[in-house]
Amino acid sequence: MKKLILIISILALAIGLIISLSGDKITTASEPQMRFDSKPIQYITLLCLDDRLTKPGQSERDKEIIQLAFEQFEKVAKGHLLINSKDRFLVCIAPQIGNDSNLESLAQSLCFDLPKIAAKDRVATLNDFKSTLSTKIDNLYNAGYRGDQSSLYSGSDIWSFINSTLPTMTNEEYDTKLLVLSDGYFDFEDGKPQLIANNRSTKSEHLFKKFRGNTNALAEMKAGDFGILKTDKVFPNTTLCIAEIYPKNPDMLEWDILSYIWEDWATACGISINKEHIIQSNIPAVINPSIVGFLNS
């Protein structure tokens, strides 16, 4: 009996020593998983503050998605160990004629750039940021709202942002997740110059004029290389999700054309995109598995 007790004691001591040397610990589901071997991630949310804000409930849906993006950023930043993390949470506004001059500063107030914050200040700064985030988002959307008539808004120039601004934000050191909140159309004012090359343009209007209602639209678009003009810029390690797409025309093919335009354009620009991350505005944003899946991927 004494020998059995001795053997059990030795085994228990050996198991305890192995666990101690391995440095392993049990983590709960709520704890962030440490990821020292992965690249830092920057979450960029691009907002189109155009006439989509006249759609009932749209602003609230946008706000929920921005909050979701921040929650995922926080989880990843803690997983990279907050004091060492280089992760970024950035909010940008698509170029738009007539925007309130205060919008850019309001958008900047929604950004949390860990490399710019001293390690000793990060926990307190993050907590302060979280406590005011909802109010800051409200302030931004209140400033962007011009009224309930579409004529009060100019179009958001998504193409210019992707071509001119995004290349200055992406690099090989980061994995970039670009989340675009838009109705899906590349629309801006007629008086603003647009670039055209063969059957491609920086606007989508000509595509819908030609193919709306055409049951063979996708095949003809592919055959004739119709679409949005690709940019010659480089976007390293960038993945895209376009959320809150809202077809403006009841034609059943409208969604198919919008989806094709985005997949074709992103691929041509060298930006990674999955069809499941081209998302309609038709179910609650906070439980949309495609949005959540993109942020968590």
Reported as a single tens digit per residue, the pLDDT across 186-223 is 987 655 667 889 999 999 999 999 999 999 999 999 99
Would you place residue 287 in the very low, low, confident or very high pLDDT band (cuts 50, 70, 90)? confident
Q: What is the pLDDT of residue 251?
A: 87
Give bridge partners of residue 181 from the DSSP assignment.
47, 243
pLDDT in tens, 18-60: 333 333 333 333 344 545 558 999 999 999 999 999 999 999 9
Q: What is the pLDDT of residue 25?
A: 34
Look at 50-59, 102-111, 177-186, 245-254 and tell me which has the smallest mean pLDDT: 245-254
Q: Is 41 helix (H, G, I), strand (E, B) or coil?
A: strand
Look at 104-113, 127-136, 278-287 and tell me which has the smallest mean pLDDT: 278-287
Residue position matching structure tokens 């093919």: 253
d(CA 294, CA 48): 19
**Token pair of 283 as six digits:** 């179910």
pLDDT over threshold 50, residue 13: no
pLDDT over threshold 70, residue 276: yes
Q: What mean pLDDT do residues 244-273 have?
A: 95
Pairing of strands 227-228, 238-245: unpaired
Judge whether 247 and 258 are in contact, CB under 8 Å.
yes
pTM for the predicted model, two decimal places: 0.86
pLDDT over threshold 50, residue 282: yes
Domain ranges within the chain, ordered by starting residue: 39-192+232-296
d(CA 62, CA 177): 17
Mean pLDDT taken over the chain: 87
Q: What is the pLDDT of residue 27?
A: 33
pLDDT over threshold 60, residue 244: yes
d(CA 233, CA 239): 15
Q: What is the pLDDT of residue 36?
A: 52
Q: What is the pLDDT of residue 35?
A: 52
Q: What values do phi and psi take at 279, rounded to 5?
A: -120, 130
Q: What is the pLDDT of residue 37?
A: 55
Q: What is the pLDDT of residue 29?
A: 32
Q: What is the pLDDT of residue 192?
A: 60
Buried b (16+ CB within 10 A) or exposed e, 200-217: bbbbbeebbeebeeeeeb
Pick the CATH number of 39-192+232-296 from 1.10.3210, 3.30.43, 3.40.50, 2.40.50: 3.40.50
pLDDT in tens, 128-155: 999 999 999 999 999 999 999 999 999 9
The contacts of residue 107 (CB under 8 Å, 6+ apart) are 47, 91, 92, 93, 140
Angle of CA points 160, 267, 249, to nearest 5°: 70
Q: What is the pLDDT of residue 101?
A: 82
Look at 72-76, 136-140, 186-190, 262-266 and tell me which has the smallest mean pLDDT: 186-190
**Token pair of 28 as six digits:** 């709960």
